[in-house]
Chain A
């Protein structure tokens, strides 16, 4: 009877999220500088083309939002810190640096491949993860305040290296890169979108299969070991997956912050910390959040478009401050 209870709850909750997501996607498709009517899609060619382009962009946003959000869930469980997020931990900046370096080198040598940008971003992300871990570690333990501090420091350093590189090459090789850096869902090449979708599906499916481990890890490492989990190996694997998700999202649309922080946090109220529910709902929730943010970015100052990273950072920053106020006592004990 109890297992039915939890399954039912999960289906219902994720079902509702899915319906909301579909609704949001359709609404977002109709909203924008060029107004589109339902009749127009069926008849007028231009309106249909614009709608399809917009839809592609919306789906891209949904993918990115889902990936960043699941990445946040994994970092939070593995580090046992509800404030962990790929952006705050400097992982996004590492990924961004990887992607920019790869773009520069790629245009020097005239090289590009479907996995080239996501993988370069992945290497950059891993580099920042190891830097943060090394800086935060004290006698084999990672105190939460050290973790956040190191993440911010590494993030700032890497971001500035990134800005330096952009400044060096902006004129010749990196046209429009500032736009990308602040988060941009301008439609990307089909091949990159396809690769990234595959990476996303694979990684999220993989982390879903690790739900039980994520549950145990978020409760405590020693307990996870006593339940028979090879904690070191599992943590390493999961951090790789989370970094890959972040890096892929970054290679698609630049640095969009705070998604991995606020979406899981809000969902934890509803689906709690059971990762079998939390991972699918985070994907859906992240997708909803980004699609809404992107629609705002496109419409608030229409016809001018605001970079989406600014919108998410603004909303996310507010929520982060609120969380800090509320959780000060337990997090900074």
Chain B
């Protein structure tokens, strides 16, 4: 039948915090090698969905399957060998050196009595070269710019050698240069190394340019799911974001581009 294998599948999934349900009855599946963007207004449950997949918060109802196995049955360490996470930039209370941060990426592969071996160091070296942060290796986290810091955390996620990479607004506070640098890297990883990626994004144009498939979350449900061309139309945007926007094609990439329309022009 289908050649692509199903990597992750959400079945009637409801998630939220305690009694507060944020997402209700979500169904979707992702094939290996896909690059999916999750978009939607603030509070639509984008981060909540990622956190549920990562088992940071338990689902309220329904199930998640990773490679046809219920993820609640997979030991956390094994899951961390398959799924890696790049969180939103948060406050760091205790500073570490880049080396120490990167070594944490091998945690899922180590036992309590065995430290990093030859192979672990080789992987660390490899990924550092891949993301081009060789010069940061001996620096400390608090000396880095936000862009460099984000690169370090992406490198750590890659050091976990995951099948699936989840990112929560990886470029939220970055300038356009770093934004493109990071997304070009993700795109290369996706195409060349067959890394499956789910990224939560606010920037619709970024999402449109890089993702194969977009999922719009709105009012606790999946509003629309499909190729950027199918999902990003002005009607949907007006409904979801309650604003007026113009959608045109990017002349070079042929992907939709969203133009904002200030009130005085409406």
Contacts and interface: CB of A to CB of B under 8 A. Distances in A.
Interface string B80-115: 110111010011111111011100110110101100
Interface string B52-88: 0011100000000000000000001111110111010
A146 interface: no
B241 interface: no
Interface residues of B, number: 40
Interface string B149-168: 00000000000100000000
A330 B91 contact: yes
6 contacts: A223-B87, A225-B55, A226-B87, A227-B104, A227-B105, A330-B91
B84 A226 contact: yes
A107 to B, nearest CB: 43
Contacts of B51: 222
Nearest to A277: B100
B94 A77 contact: yes
Contacts of B85: 222-223, 226
B137 interface: yes
A3 B103 CA distance: 10
B99 A273 contact: no
Interface of B: 17-18, 51, 54-56, 76-81, 83-85, 87, 90-97, 99-101, 104-105, 107-108, 110, 112-113, 116, 121, 137-138, 140, 160
A220 B88 CA distance: 11
A227 B107 contact: yes
B121 A3 contact: yes
Given A225-B54, A226-B54, A228-B77, A6 B99 contact: yes
A229 B76 contact: yes
Nearest to B113: A209
Name A's interface SS: helix
Contacts of B93: 80-82, 218, 330
Given A2-B137, A216-B107, A222-B56, A227 B160 contact: yes
Given A2-B121, A225-B54, 4 more contacts: A5-B99, A6-B100, A223-B87, A273-B95
Contacts of B54: 222, 225-226
Interface pairs A-B: 10 shortest CB-CB? A228-B80, A226-B85, A228-B77, A228-B108, A273-B94, A218-B94, A228-B76, A227-B107, A225-B56, A222-B56
Contact of A219 (B17, B18, B96): B96
Given A3-B116, A223-B87, A215 B76 contact: no
Contacts of B160: 227
A317 to B, nearest CB: 22
Contacts of A209: 112-113
Contacts of B77: 228
Contact of B92 (A219, A225, A229, A272): A219
Contacts of B83: 226
Given A80-B94, A268-B94, A216 B79 contact: no
With a 10 A CB-CB cut-off, give which of A140, A226, A273 has the most chain B CB atoms. Answer: A226
A93 B121 CA distance: 46
A268 B93 CA distance: 12
A98 to B, nearest CB: 30
Interface in A87-138: none
Interface in A191-242: 209, 212, 215-216, 218-220, 222-223, 225-230
Interface in A268-305: 268, 272-274
Contact of B96 (A139, A215, A227, A330): A215
A209 B81 CA distance: 21
A179 to B, nearest CB: 37
A6 B140 CA distance: 14
A237 to B, nearest CB: 12
Given A226-B85, A228-B80, A273 B112 contact: no
B95 A272 contact: yes
B108 A227 contact: yes
B94 A212 contact: no
Nearest to B153: A223
A188 B137 CA distance: 49
Contacts of B140: 272
A32 B83 CA distance: 61
A44 B129 CA distance: 68
Contacts of B84: 226
Nearest to A327: B93
B100 A215 contact: yes
A227 B81 CA distance: 8
B96 A272 contact: yes
Contact of B100 (A139, A222, A225, A272): A272
Contacts of A215: 96, 100, 104
